[in-house]
Amino acid sequence: MKDICSLLRIPAPNNTPVANEEVLFQHVQFKTGQRIHTIGQPFEMLYVVNSGFLKTVMIDELGNEQVLSFPMKSDLLGVDGIHSKFHTSEAVALSDCDLILVPFKKLTALGKTYPELEHAMYGVMSRELVREQAMICMLGTLSAEGRVARFLVSLSDRFSQMGYSHRIFNLRMTRHEIGSYIGLTLETVSRTLSALHEIGWISVDQKTIEIKDLNALRNLRRLPTAKARKEKKTAAAVAAAMSRQQQNAGQAASL
């Protein structure tokens, strides 16, 4: 339990069996593509991500997926099943994952004994809700370019919180999955990533992203048109060529 509290960034109750690690939970490994829980599955436990990357999705009657989130280390899964006692979403591993299984009955029993633990868990669930609300707000107010940029900023911030590089990271999800998450088509996501690469704010190498101007991404509302970007690039190339000519002329004169 002490490890779980550390992962979820909440304090473990002091001087209790919880703090002394006498309360144990099971680690389970899942392979890439494996389902952690499915829609309609009876709700029995929560899952804490110890390592790896996942996606949660809703699936309509035609089999179309709507990506809801991309859980990673320190995130909590399975909360959707608390109300109806059945999972209303599906969780799938995007990489090999290590999850900690937390039986809900066991957690509620601990909460009755240690109210501070129960309140801390409520805080974790609220944190997830706030993240979802921020996403809904983003979808309603930002342009397509702004959504992609804000998605990259969000990933950068989360990697930083986990102690990883916030500047260079791999996208475990596909362009299509990113589009589903932020309400865009695959083509729009790909085109926007290429545009951000073109103006030098990021570098894209297949699934590897390097953030070169985090502030620009964070403040982006709408990119200049392709024509404007091309004109700016041409002007920069002309200016660079003229600068080289002047340098060469200066060197020739000195000789």
Read off the pLDDT of residues 100-150 as tens digits, 9 standing for 90 and up: 999 999 999 988 888 888 889 899 999 888 988 888 888 888 999 999 999
Question: Stretch 175-185: mean pLDDT, rounded?
Answer: 96
Q: What are phi and psi of 182, to 5 degrees?
A: -105, 15
Q: What does the DSSP assignment read for 156-179?
A: HHHHHHTTS-SSEEE--S-HHHHH
Give the confidence band of 48 by pLDDT, cuts at 50, 70, 90. very high
- In three-state secondary structure terms, 155 is helix
| pLDDT recorded at residue 16 | 62
Task: Determine the residue type at 127.
Answer: R
Is 69:55 a contact under the CB 8 Å cutoff?
Answer: yes
pLDDT higher than 90, residue 20: no
pTM of the shown model:
0.83
Q: Give the other-Cβ count within 10 Å of 115's Cβ.
A: 10
2: pLDDT confidence band, cut at 50, 70 and 90?
A: confident
pLDDT value of residue 139: 85
- Pull the structure tokens for residue 227: 């024509």
pLDDT band at residue 232, thresholds of 50, 70 and 90? low
Query: Residue 236 pLDDT more than 60?
Result: no
